[in-house]
Amino acid sequence: MAQGYEMGDGMSTARLDDSIKAQLDEAERTMRCLAPAGDGFQARLARLARQGALARPYPGVYARPSYWNALEPKAQCLHVARTLSDAHPSWVFCATTAAVVHGMAMSYRYIKVPHISVPGKRRGQTRWAVWHHLRDDDDATIRLNGVRVTSFERTAFDCLRFLPFDQALAVADSALRIRNADIPWLMHSVCGYWPGYLNAQHARRVAHHANGLAENGGESMARAAMIELGYMLPELQAVVPNPLDGGTYRLDFMWRLADGRVVAGEYDGRGKYLNGHDGVPREGDEALRGAVDKMAKERLRESRLTLAMGVMRFSPKQLRSRPYFCQLMDSFGIPRVREPQEIEARARIPRWTL
């Protein structure tokens, strides 16, 4: 949810008239927010937002609180980008916002505000947006999913060079997965196209470690931690037999250790249990039944796997605690094969890199 978003609580006694409801219905149908024209209408909606009857994700942009709050952050990002792109055709969405439009992995913390390039506007940051300046010789822009964005390659490059290693690796992995490409493509077509740009060396370091077999950003960030801490890297998406019922299972991570033991690693992100399609969660009992069914299947799957190997599960919170993550890896006997290393090689500008 964007840092600058003003949210209605949905409990206001202010009423929306039929005209506003109809326009909100149409905006939701097209996966957009409502951005009305005319100062008078804008003033009405701003008043309703102050009264809590509407959410205001961006100045002049409105949505029903119940609808808006049900969207996951990436879906919120896309709604705002589509709405602003319709209202401002000259705006180009770039960096982390463009990454979401292209379908790359992106942490919620980096999509709190849109990243936009506007002709003639200087770089800078406000409560509502991060402003970039794309030079005339920069890569061409395209229109995708209703939004004008920087190209896939340029978007990946900007994220690789300005995001921290773990976040950038998630982008690099997803870029390989989406393009069904390899590291030489990433080095040449992404990192090699703008060799003199700031932090290009950091982008190349990230690209060197990329692996398109990672299925989501959490798995990429886990592997980034293993790389920086010096642990033996696992096989990704290894297929192993179900020792009891037949068939096969696919693992997030698998280590074959020197003593003959096999260890499976499973990243437990909550999204695989709770989210529906397009970032819109299922509602009510359906969501609860779906989550419970998935967790039950996971527990059954794990009970079968433990017949043949150790199973190490970890959550995003546990991954963020490096001392705990090291203790977990050590307890399962995952060896360190190199000294811990600092991958970071970036100048931490612009400000949006946090």
| Widest pairwise Cα distance in the chain | 74
Question: What's at 311, amino acid-wise?
Answer: V
Torsion of CA 18, 22, 23, 29, to 10 degrees: 160
**What is the C-alpha to C-alpha distance for residues 14 and 26, in angstroms, rounded to an integer?**
21
What one-character DSSP code corresponds to residue 53? S
HSE-up (13 A, CA, CB side) for residue 352:
28
Tell me which residue of 11, 173, 12 sits closest to 99, measured CA to CA. Answer: 173
Residue ranges, the chain, pLDDT below 70: 1-14, 136-139, 243-246, 270-308, 348-354
Say which residue the tokens 């290009």 belong to: 200
* Whether 325 contacts 176, CB under 8 Å: no
* Long-range contact pairs involving 134-139 (C-beta distance under 8 Å, separation at least 24): 134/92, 134/94, 139/193
CA proximity to 257, closest of 232, 288, 226: 232
pLDDT at 342: 84
Rounded Cα distance between 95 and 85, Å, is 15
Give the whole-angstrom CA distance, residue 289 versus residue 264. 27
Q: How far apart (Å, rounded) are the C-alpha atoms in residues 221 and 85?
A: 31
Q: pLDDT value at position 278?
A: 42
Query: What's at 74, amino acid-wise?
Result: K
3-state secondary structure of 341: coil
Q: What is the pTM of this model?
A: 0.84
Q: Please calculate the CA angle 35-40-41 and round it to the nearest 5 degrees.
A: 35
Query: One-letter amino acid identity for 149?
Result: V
- Amino acid 152 reads F
| Model pLDDT, residue 306 | 59
End-to-end CA distance of the chain: 16
Task: Please name the residues in contact with 257: beta carbons below 8 A apart, sequence gap of 6 or more.
Answer: 263, 333, 334, 335
Q: What is the pLDDT of residue 290?
A: 52
Q: Comparing C-alpha atoms, which of 333, 264, 257 is closest to residue 301? A: 264
The pLDDT score that the predictor gives to residue 134 is 80
Measured CA to CA, the distance from residue 327 to residue 331 in angstroms comes to 6
Distance CA 95, CA 158 (A): 6
Question: Quick one: three-class SS letters along 138-152?
Answer: CCCEEEECCEEEECH
* Cis peptide bond N-terminal to 316, omega within 30: no
Q: How far is CA 140 from the centre of its chain?
A: 24
**Could you give the CA distance from residue 149 to residue 167 in angstroms, rounded to a whole number?**
20
Residue type, 20: I
